[in-house]
C-alpha cells in the first residue's frame, strides 16, 4: 500500500514503494503508471521528487517511458527488482553471515560433485589453483590467489547456473573475509585445500563434502 513520504531522500523512498507495489501485483507488469501530477498527489511530494524516482527506476529497467505515450511498468520489472535487491544484499556487510550460510549449503555439494566427475583436466586445474594458494605469503597475495581453488572446483561441475550462483556469492564474501585474513588462517586454509583436493582425486564425495563444510565453518 502506497503511503505519504516522510523521509529526506524522497525519490529513493518513492522508488522503493513503487517497487513494492509491482512485486505485490498492485502495479502489474505492462500496466501504465499514473502521471507525475497524479503520483505527486498520491505520495504528497513535489513533481521533482517524482521525476527523480521515475528516472531512477527507468535506469534500473523497472519502468519504460515513451514520449507522447507515457510511462509503463516494464515487462520484466519483477526480475529487474529482484536482481537489484540481490545486488544490494551481496554488497552489504550486514549480509556476510547469510552469504557464508549460502556457501555452506552450496560448496560441500560442489565438492562432492567434483569428486564424482572430475576429469584429469579438472584435477590439473584444481592442483594448479592449490599450488598458487600455497605460494601466497601475504594477505594481498592471498587476495589474488586464495579463491582460485574454489572457482576451479565449482567449474568442474559444468553447471552454468550453479557456477553463476557461486560466483555471485563468492566474490563479495571473499572481499569481506580477506580483510580478516592473517598468516595463521592462510596456513589452515592451504592445508584444507590440499585435503579436499586429495579427497576429490580419491573419488570420495562424502569426504570432500565434509572437508569443505569444515573449511567454511
The closest of 43, 34, 48 to 4, measured between CA atoms, is: 43
Is 177 among the domain residues?
Answer: yes
The number of residues making up the chain comes to: 217
> Are 31 and 124 members of one domain?
no
> Are 130 and 167 members of one domain?
yes
Return the pLDDT at 7: 47
Mean pLDDT of the chain: 88
**What's the average model confidence in pLDDT over 17-21?**
93
> Are 161 and 204 members of one domain?
yes
66 vs 39, residue with greater confidence: 39
Domain containing residue 173: 94-216
The closest of 94, 104, 79, 112 to 170, measured between CA atoms, is: 104
Report percent pLDDT > 70 for the chain. Answer: 95
* Tally of domains in the chain: 2
Backbone φ, ψ for residue 24 (5° rounding): -80, -10
Output the pTM of the full model. Answer: 0.67
Boundary of a domain, candidates 60, 84, 108: 84
**What's the average model confidence in pLDDT over 157-165?**
86
Q: What is the dihedral of CA 130, 134, 138, 142, to 10 degrees?
A: 10
Span 104-133, pLDDT tens digits: 999 999 999 999 999 999 999 999 999 999
End-to-end alpha-carbon separation of the chain, Å? 41
Q: What is the CATH number of the domain that holds 77?
A: 1.10.10.10
Span 58-94, pLDDT tens digits: 998 999 988 878 899 999 999 989 888 877 777 777 8
**What's the average model confidence in pLDDT over 168-177?**
79
**What's the average model confidence in pLDDT over 21-36?**
92
Is 5 among the domain residues?
Answer: no
Boundary of a domain, candidates 66, 84, 102: 84
Amino acid at each position: 500500500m502506497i503511503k505519504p513520504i516522510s523521509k529526506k531522500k524522497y525519490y529513493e523512498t518513492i522508488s522503493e514503494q513503487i517497487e513494492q507495489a509491482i512485486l505485490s501485483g498492485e502495479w502489474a507488469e505492462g500496466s501504465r503508471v499514473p502521471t507525475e501530477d497524479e503520483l505527486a498527489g498520491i505520495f504528497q511530494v513535489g513533481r521533482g521528487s517524482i521525476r527523480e524516482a521515475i528516472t531512477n527506476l527507468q535506469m534500473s529497467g523497472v519502468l519504460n517511458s515513451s514520449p507522447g505515450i507515457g510511462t509503463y511498468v516494464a515487462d520484466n520489472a519483477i526480475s529487474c527488482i529482484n536482481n537489484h535487491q540481490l545486488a544490494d544484499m551481496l554488497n552489504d556487510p550486514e549480509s556476510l553471515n547469510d552469504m557464508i550460510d549460502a556457501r555452506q549449503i552450496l560448496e560441500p555439494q560442489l565438492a562432492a560433485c567434483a569428486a564424482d566427475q572430475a576429469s584429469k583436466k579438472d584435477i590439473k586445474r584444481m592442483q594448479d589453483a592449490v599450488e598458487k594458494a600455497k605460494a601466497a605469503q601475504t594477505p594481498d597475495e592471498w587476495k589474488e590467489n586464495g579463491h582460485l581453488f574454489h572457482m576451479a572446483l565449482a567449474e568442474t561441475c559444468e553447471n552454468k547456473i550453479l557456477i553463476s550462483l557461486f560466483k555471485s556469492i563468492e566474490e563479495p564474501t571473499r572481499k569481506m573475509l580477506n580483510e580478516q585474513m592473517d598468516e595463521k588462517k592462510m596456513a589452515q586454509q592451504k592445508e584444507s585445500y590440499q585435503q579436499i583436493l586429495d579427497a576429490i582425486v580419491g573419488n570420495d564425495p562424502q569426504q570432500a563434502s565434509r572437508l569443505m563444510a569444515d573449511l567454511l565453518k
